[in-house]
Chain A
Amino acid sequence: MTVAIPAAAAPPRKYGIDLSKPVLYGFAAVLCVLIVLPLSWLFLYSFTDAKGALTLANFYRLFTESTFVEPLITTFIIATTSAVICCAVAAPMGWLVARTDLPFSPVIRALVTASFVTPPFLGAIAWELLAAPNSGLLNKTFRAITGAEQDTHVFNIYSLEGIIFVISCYTFPYVFVLVANSLDRTPGELEDASSILGGGRWYTARRITIPLVLPALLAGALVAFLQAMTLFGSPAILALPAGFHTMTTKIWSLFQYPPKPELAAAASLPLLILNTRSSVQTRDPLSPARASGQSRKRGHRQRRGVANAGEAHAWRRARGALPDAMNIQAQAMDGNAPAAQRAGGSSFYLAMRILGREQREAMFEIYAFCRAVDDIADGDAPRAERQALLADWRKDIEALYAGRVRPGLENLAHAAARYSLRKENFLEVIDGMEMDAVEDIRAPIGRN
């Protein structure tokens, strides 16, 4: 623990007191009080009867009486469905906001945050006003327009579907934030590269984008599931009128006079266990996300490139981020080791593993090329020298396409041939670099 470090690093004092132990024990004690103590009480309560004697009767009732089993099933249905809906809605939304130049995307982010911080019960009340079958504004409007009978309604918020809807409304931000952040942090150049290699938009999404955000998506789904499962605010408003209980409203009802804390404790244990187990599992899918998410700061600035990949400027736009994203050593171009090995150690390597071996190697070769020319453009050499080096590269590429491959570029030549890469694209990259080399100071707008 970090607290120990200052104490350990401090020069030994003759009469000093080593504070590390008390601090550590203090922390442990606080943790005990905050977590272990209430949990132990919960366990203890769940195994005792009203008189305090040990018993399993609470659990027996919990799993046999229909008034407990039904809420358990209902809660499970609500949580699962909400999680699926959240993913279906929030993942595309996250992608749109993070990866495309969707208009008003800052507004969308702000609105999602707003629904994030809206207390669920408040949302439930709002939807009550809107979609209650008889008094709801939407249904009233519908009847006014269609002249329908008094009892007809389009929406009924007091229903299982209604509750799932309202819960999803205030749970999807979890998925959105995770997916959008994950996309923000993973360089969009992967997708660029896929497009360069001839991958269509859908192919790119399927082979690159989705595998990249999958860990975040799964984590989001789990969080949404748990959130929907343990949510009390919305069900407290909607469940009783809808004619059923969720686990949380059932537990609440057990605290009404005369309270039955022992049954409430037993009823809360399944939720607790499920929660803890899922949280532990969440860590696994999350870890690759963390690894690949070691983002380059410049990455996000360039992320919109992919949606505009068809435009001529896309190349220049993307080039700034490429080398950074890859973390490939400059000398990689000179080495004879396979490109994958040269890129090894980079966090990027991990992300690339989702591609097929051949595609992967091809992409590394292209990146290596980009990196090499970028290093020239950004280098400290005098401008004339940089321009000369870039001119050399131009010759190399021309030669490569003419069938005279410069030693060291065999792999690149192979990749170009295998994926029918166009010479113009390589030259465009060099064009972009030359712009840098020609004029060092550019307005920011020139870059993006």
Chain B
Amino acid sequence: MHKVLGDKRATFILLGPALLIYTLIMVVPIVWSLFYTVQDGNPITGFTFNGVANFVTFFKDPAAWQAIGFTLTYALVLTVLQVGIGYLLSLMYVFWIRRGSGLVRTIIFFPVVLPTVAIALLFQKLFEAAPATGPVNALIEMFGGHSVDWFGQPAAAFWIIILMDLWRSMGFYAVLLYAGLVDIPDDLLESARLDGASGWKLIRTIVLPLSLPVLLSSLIFSINGTLKVFDTVVALTNGGPGNATTPLTVYMFQTSFTYGQYGYGSTIALMLTILCLLFTVFIFRSTRRDLTQEG
């Protein structure tokens, strides 16, 4: 019977086009990009081989370290906050609102479908100081404070980026984690309650261990997505003030397309890829070890 499902011609016709496009536009450029990392120049000036010079430059480049620092801080802070708040929300959906949480879930989820550029422009105006006073500064002035130039200070700009992404994504993570929580069997919770577990203890001993797998995958998704942050930063602060909020992705884009350094740009892109891989493997292994230890 496997003869039918092993029809080579059909397999070729079905898989061929997808594999061809994927290979030509993803696989080949990835390999091609690796060759760029050992060269200097761009298609207009021509390329010269320069060995590991791009990597040496990268590790000596203060702007690159600044970008790595921002990328890591942003990814870690946002991941902890969005998965943490998402988890609290999902606990609220399941244990507090229970039935009827559908509407709340749906409303808090919606910003994730909106274009980042539009939201970023809106947040710029929300936090604007001059010429028009945005709602946030207007409220500060109402309570007797002075308007703050949020985008003029690195720390303030950083937190606005975090705040906007939280606004966008907390409902999304809440729904993702909610799916894991509703899978916990009711009788399990009920029997734990009969055994005297309640409140915090119930969460810690029953709910948390059982939702660990979905928490883990949320962490991986979040780290993977936040390390690649681009739209938010480009549209909200464009990396400023100075280069205080420039992540690796934006630094790569500027290096490649503003300054035309294809070799160095590819090196930065490769570093970003390695960073994504390292973090995924790291989270995966560390949580796996924990699980086996706790039995």
Question: Are A and B genuine complex partners?
Answer: no
Q: What residues of chain B have their CB less than 8 Å away from a CB belonging to chain A?
A: none
